[in-house]
Structures are given as C-alpha cells and as structure tokens.
C-alpha cells in the first residue's frame, strides 16, 4: 500500500475529483462500444430484448422476482408508489434527508409526504421516530412508508417491516443509491413490496444518460408497472388507465448489462476506499471518539452491507472547509443542504424550522468526500491531509 513520496507529491499537483467516470470508461470502453453497436445494428431502440434481458439479470442480482425498466429513478419511484396503490389523499411517510425525488414522486402519485426525522448516527429514516408518530396516531390516511437507503446503507428494514405489518402500510424502498447493498443479508430491492433504483450517471451502477428500474416479488405489481410506463396500455392503442411514457431505452439497457457484472467488484473497492478513509481520519486525530473533534464519521450498521455510494462525514465549519478544499481542487458535495420539509415547494405542508432537528443539523454538517472505485491511496491521503491542515 505504501507509495513513494515522489508519486505522492505528483498527485498533490493534480485535482481529486468527487467522481471520475473516465477511469471506469477506460476499463470497459470496448465492451460498451460493442454493446451500443449491437443496439444500433438491431435498430430496436425502446424496450425490446436488451431491456428484457437487463430486467431478468437485475432482478436475479437483487433477489427479486421481477424488474421493470423505466426512464429514471424518479419515474421508478412514481411507478413503485402507484403500483402499491398510493393515490390522491394518501399520506406516505418518508425521510427529509434525501434527494428531492423521494418526496416529489409521492406528490406526483397524488399523495402527501409525511416527513419523520432521521437517526443521527446513520442519517437514515429513524424507525423509532416513525413508530412514535404511528402510535400517537398523528397522521390519518397513511398508506405507505418509503425509507431511503441513504448513501448506500440500507435503512433498518426489519423495523420498517414490523411497523408496515402492524399498521397495514405498503413498504416501498427508495434504493436509488443502494444497488448491491443489503440488510440482514437481504439485498436492497428484495425487501419492500416494490423498490426503485436510479442509474443516473453518478450512481454505483450507472447508465450513459437517465435510466431507472423497479423491482418487486409480486407479478401483479410488475404487470401494472409495465402498463403504467407505456401510457397505461396493455396492448397497442388500448388505454385502460392514465399512465405516462417512461420506458427504458435499449442503449441504456445494453450499457447497464455490460456494467452489472462488475458492480460487486466496484462495490467492494468502494468499501475498501471507505475503510481507508476511516483509518486515515483516525490516524490524523480528526475523529477521536472523545473531546470536541472537528470531524465525525457516520455509523455503519453491523446488519447493513454498506456500498458507499457516498462517503460522508459530519464536520464543523463545513462551508469554509468546502471552500478550502475547492481551492486545492478537491471535489466535495453536500447531500443535502436543504432538508425536504424546508423546500419552498413543500411550504404548503406546514413544517417549520426546528420540526425535524436531526435532519436540519445534518444538512448544516454533512460533506461528501471523493468516492469512486478507482480512487487511489495517494488521493485519499491528500484529501485527509488537506482536511487536517484546515483544522490545524
């Protein structure tokens, strides 16, 4: 692992991006170009054999019976929620610390998001808080619960399953950031009634454009989603309900089929990079367990197999640190600076500052460091040295 000081100083002169997809492309270029050529030669661009094959392969990968390809993770969420029956007037519990689509898809399906606070250790939706709200009976019209597997770590699906059973709620996974992750040895995508994945280019399994998929063990939900993604049409020019056009295209399907066999390896490399960050941060003294240390590492739950879509730390003076790192051309990002209950578009829901304090605190403190399978030891060392220098 040790690298020479010559190579380390060479790295220092170069930027460390948050994500560098060109390194992955160099590795799979020939296979990807052959797959795209295969689609172009077939002249079959929407759904078809490539998408059907991806659906089979992805379902097997997740341990689910069915997968339904669609145009994005946002569409996948809308399909997943609609299929389990979320519609006008239905309330859906979800987390305030997620990408906007987790909540907007609820509204698109006709429902109303009910935000519940996050666990401060993992930043995933907190089942204890959800249970408290359910027992207090504060929300009527509850139809579903939508935990998000944030940053690649599954939410506590045992607890959510128990609550869903007791309170008769549909359990839907937002697995957009968690392909290959698992909870208690069950893969993301196999635990909820339906589960939505995104293949946005930055994801652990990523397309060359927008793409998504929904998994389910229920053939009736799968059938319904196949209709909904094609204008509610069971056969050409017959429309039984109002759907939408959110089909997956064959080029994305073919690219994803090239990449899927590598996901386990890439996730393993991400986990190694995360362990390396943990070690470097500890060695630097930035994260000592006691005292007022400037950096805190998020908890990895022992029951979770975390795939580190992001490596996120909580820090003091976050925005100044981010600026300092940017001046060194070290890429960082904030997931997410405004919790969903404080987004202007959701003002009508009536939440106020202070209603969900853990999510609000996290939004002020979180910082994602560079994370991708090909990140080098030297680059990580330079990132951590730079963080240490900022706080020295």
Nearer to ligand PLP, 77 or 205 (CB): 77
User: Closest distance between ligand PLP and the C-beta of residue 73, in Å?
Assistant: 2
Instruction: Please report whether residue 73 would count as binding ligand PLP according to CB under 6 A.
Output: yes
Report the nearest approach of ligand PLP to the CB of residue 57 (Å): 19
Binding span for ligand PLP by CB under 6 A among 28-36, 95-103, 108-116, 266-274: 95-103
| Closest-CA residue to 163 (of 119, 141, 131, 188) | 131
Q: In angstroms, what is the minimal distance from the CB of 201 to ligand PLP?
A: 9
Q: How far is the CB of 321 from ligand PLP (least distance, A)?
A: 23
Measuring CA to CA, which residue among 114, 174, 96 is closest to residue 359? 96
CB 134 to ligand PLP: min, Å = 23
Q: Which of 177, 182, 332, 381 lies at the binding interface for ligand PLP (CB under 6 A)?
A: 177
The answer to the question of residue 72 lying near ligand PLP (CB under 6 A) is: yes
242, with CB counted inside 10 A (0-12, 13-18, 19+), is exposed
Determine the Cα–Cα distance for residues 247 and 212; give it in Å rounded to an integer: 9
Q: What is the DSSP letter of 208?
A: S
Q: Which stretch binds ligand PLP (CB under 6 A): 94-102, 221-229, 352-360, 370-378?
A: 94-102
* Lateral strand order in the sheet of 295-297: 295-297, 311-315, 366-369
Give the nearer residue to ligand PLP in terms of CB position, either 74 or 287: 74
Considering only 67-75, 261-269, 274-282, 316-324, which stretch makes contact with ligand PLP by CB under 6 A? 67-75
Say if residue 336 is preceded by a cis peptide, omega within 30 of 0. Answer: yes
- Binding ligand PLP (rule: CB under 6 A), the pick from 148, 172, 315, 384 is 148
CB 179 within 8 Å of CB 196: no
Under the criterion CB under 6 A, does residue 98 sit at the interface with ligand PLP? yes
Helices and strands (DSSP H and E) totals, the chain: 13, 13
Q: Where are the alpha helices (H) located in 137-262, listed in sequence order? A: 157-167, 219-228, 250-259
Whole-angstrom distance, CA of residue 264 vs CA of residue 75: 25
Question: In this complex, which beta carbon is closest to ligand PLP, that of residue 50 or of residue 210?
Answer: 210
Residue 177 or 190 having the CB closest to ligand PLP: 177
Q: In the beta sheet, which residues pair with residue 46?
A: 249
Q: Is 276 in the site for ligand PLP (CB under 6 A)?
A: no
Contacts of 120 by beta carbon, 8 Å cutoff, 6+ apart: 358, 361, 362
212 near ligand PLP, judged by CB under 6 A: yes
Query: Residue 9 Cβ, how far from ligand PLP at the closest point, in Å?
Result: 36
Interface with ligand PLP, residue 381, by CB under 6 A: no
Give the three-class secondary structure for 361: helix
136: tokens are 């207090």
Among 94, 104, 198, 206, the residue binding ligand PLP under the rule CB under 6 A is: 198
CB of 75 to ligand PLP, least distance (A): 7
Strand partners, 314: 296, 366
**Pick 98 or 267: Cβ nearer ligand PLP:** 98
**Cβ atoms 161, 145 nearer than 8 A:** no
Task: Please enumerate in sequence order all residues whose Cβ is within 8 A of that of 298, keeping only pairs 6 or more positions apart, or say none.
Answer: 121, 122, 123, 151, 153, 312, 313, 314
Nearer to ligand PLP, 73 or 180 (CB): 73
Residue found under tokens 């609609």: 82
Q: CA–CA separation, 286 vs 298, rounded Å?
A: 14
Per CB under 6 A, 179 contacts ligand PLP = no
- Min. distance of Cβ 282 from ligand PLP in angstroms? 28
Q: Does 206 bind ligand PLP (CB under 6 A)?
A: no
Any contact of residue 217 with ligand PLP (CB under 6 A)?
Answer: no
Which spans of this chain sit near ligand PLP (rule: CB under 6 A)? 72-74, 77, 98-99, 101-102, 148, 174, 176-177, 198, 200, 210, 212
């Amino acid at each position: 692992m040790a690298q020479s000081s010559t190579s380390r100083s060479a790295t220092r002169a170069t930027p460390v991006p948050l994500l560098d997809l060109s390194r992955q492309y160099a590795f799979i270029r020939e296979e990807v170009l052959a797959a795209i050529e295969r689609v172009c030669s077939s002249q079959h661009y929407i759904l078809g054999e490539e998408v059907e094959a991806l659906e089979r392969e992805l379902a097997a990968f997740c341990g689910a019976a069915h997968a339904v390809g669609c145009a994005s993770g946002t569409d996948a969420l809308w399909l997943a929620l609609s299929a389990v029956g979320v519609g006008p007037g239905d309330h859906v519990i979800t987390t305030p610390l997620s990408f906007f689509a987790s909540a907007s898809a609820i509204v698109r399906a006709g429902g109303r998001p009910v935000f519940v606070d996050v666990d401060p250790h993992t930043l995933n939706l907190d089942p204890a808080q959800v249970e408290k709200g359910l027992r207090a009976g504060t929300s009527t019209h509850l139809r579903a619960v939508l935990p998000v597997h944030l940053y690649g770590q599954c939410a506590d699906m045992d607890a959510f399953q128990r609550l869903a059973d007791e309170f008769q709620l549909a359990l839907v996974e937002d697995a957009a950031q968690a392909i290959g992750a698992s909870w208690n040895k069950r893969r993301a995508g196999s635990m909820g009634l339906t589960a939505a994945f995104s293949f946005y280019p930055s994801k652990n399994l990523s397309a060359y454009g927008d793409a998504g998929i929904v998994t389910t063990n229920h053939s009736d939900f799968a059938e319904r989603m196949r209709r909904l993604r094609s204008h509610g049409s069971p056969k050409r020019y017959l429309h039984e309900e109002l759907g939408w056009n959110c089909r997956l295209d064959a080029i994305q399907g073919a690219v994803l089929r090239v990449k899927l066999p590598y996901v386990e390896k890439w996730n393993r490399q991400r986990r190694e990079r995360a362990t390396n960050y943990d070690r470097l941060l500890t060695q630097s003294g930035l994260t000592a367990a006691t005292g007022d240390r400037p950096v805190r590492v998020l908890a990895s739950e022992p029951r979770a197999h975390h795939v580190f879509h992001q490596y996120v730390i909580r820090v003091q003076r976050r925005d100044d640190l981010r600026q300092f790192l940017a001046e060194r051309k070290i890429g960082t990002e904030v997931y997410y600076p405004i919790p969903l209950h404080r987004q202007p578009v959701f003002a009508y829901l009536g939440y106020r500052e202070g209603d969900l304090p853990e999510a609000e605190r996290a939004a002020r403190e979180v910082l994602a460091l560079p994370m991708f399978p090909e990140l080098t030891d030297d680059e990580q060392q330079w990132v951590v040295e730079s963080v240490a220098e900022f706080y020295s």
